[in-house]
Structure 1
């Protein structure tokens, strides 16, 4: 586990300073995905693996002043960039591992996770941990601002059958981790899987 953490931290530490400038046009995609999460004023939501906090302002808008917005990330440099960008005002930034969240059971209404699933060292266990902190009937959004094919092309790769984000793989992975997938979109301009926390 420590080796996985070190690798993830090294990867994102090296990219933190210019992360937002590399993806300057993602804001509307984040806002649209947050809208699809159907948060209500007063809800409590976690941005799991929040990075530079690009989802925090739309999450705050969705839950309002009475709501709770948390952003958790494993990489201090990413949280530093979130604070530098002023996004700490939209939510509380936590240096935390999504595999062991410092949160009580069923304390959240929803989890938003952008680009997270590819970096989970133990996806089934880690998704189960996200389910632990969400009330029954609460929601999970697994998001990426571009689809699987476009992302693979960006990195000079092909999509493989074992890709966790492929619907035939993701649906049973979620089901075995306390979630029921309710919608799945994988288009060039967006990837969004929505799931509901099962009782």
Structure 2
């Protein structure tokens, strides 16, 4: 495992047990972001970097009993927290690096990724891997329950122009990785970038 992966695992392992209690009011924001994916009954969707699985219940509701929901995360403690919360009933929990998924090409209809981009050591590589497993014309949602400015304030840092999630940075990054951005929202109450898998 790389040093980058070890650092990410350590960060989230230390926070897994109380993660949900630290952000108890995020449920409606997750549900609204999942709704923006436009999923249909029977679709196959991945929650990339699923953490404690807060997106899994709305994803399951969107794809129905006939759909497939997978939650993949690098940190065992986060997946254990998801299982303790009963979210393993909403989707398959998979211990995996989202930059090297054990999935066939073009097998998914959508990828949902909450708070993922900021933790990627090689964002372009990971976004290319997510593109590999999604069928052309289907969708990716990069989500955070608060916007960039609100998150920076929460973390006690200034928002800078080189922020990966700033639209002028994110749009070309997605384009170079097999995606075309279709919408971009950065408000205090949510960050949501939607993109379609190019052919």
TM value normalised by structure 1: 0.99
Residue 37 of structure 2: aligned partner: 37
In the alignment, the residues of structure 1 paired with residue 170 and residue 52 of structure 2 have an alpha-carbon distance, to the nearest angstrom, of 26
Residue 90 of structure 1: aligned partner: 90
Residue 123 of structure 1: aligned partner: 123
TM-superposed deviation, 1:152: 0.1
In the alignment, the residues of structure 2 paired with residue 171 and residue 28 of structure 1 have an alpha-carbon distance, to the nearest angstrom, of 26
In the alignment, the residues of structure 1 paired with residue 158 and residue 42 of structure 2 have an alpha-carbon distance, to the nearest angstrom, of 42
Aligned length: 199
Please give the per-residue CA displacement for 1:76-119, whole angstroms capped at 9, x wherever unaligned.
00000000000000000000000100000000000000000001
Residue 170 of structure 2: aligned partner: 170
Instruction: Indicate the SS of the match to 1:15.
Output: coil
Q: Any gaps of 5 or more consecutive residues in structure 1?
A: none
In the alignment, the residues of structure 1 paired with residue 11 and residue 162 of structure 2 have an alpha-carbon distance, to the nearest angstrom, of 22
TM-superposed deviation, 1:161: 0.8
Following TM superposition, the consecutive aligned residue runs of length 4 or more in structure 1 with deviations greater than 3 angstroms are none
What is the correspondence of 1:147-166 to structure 2 with a 5 Å cutoff? 147-166=147-166
Residue 109 of structure 1: aligned partner: 109
TM-superposed deviation, 1:124: 0.6
Please give the per-residue CA displacement for 1:61-90, whole angstroms capped at 9, x wherever unaligned.
000000000000000000000000000000
In the alignment, the residues of structure 1 paired with residue 156 and residue 47 of structure 2 have an alpha-carbon distance, to the nearest angstrom, of 28
Residue 21 of structure 2: aligned partner: 21
| C-alpha RMSD of the superposition | 0.5
In the alignment, the residues of structure 2 paired with residue 117 and residue 64 of structure 1 have an alpha-carbon distance, to the nearest angstrom, of 27
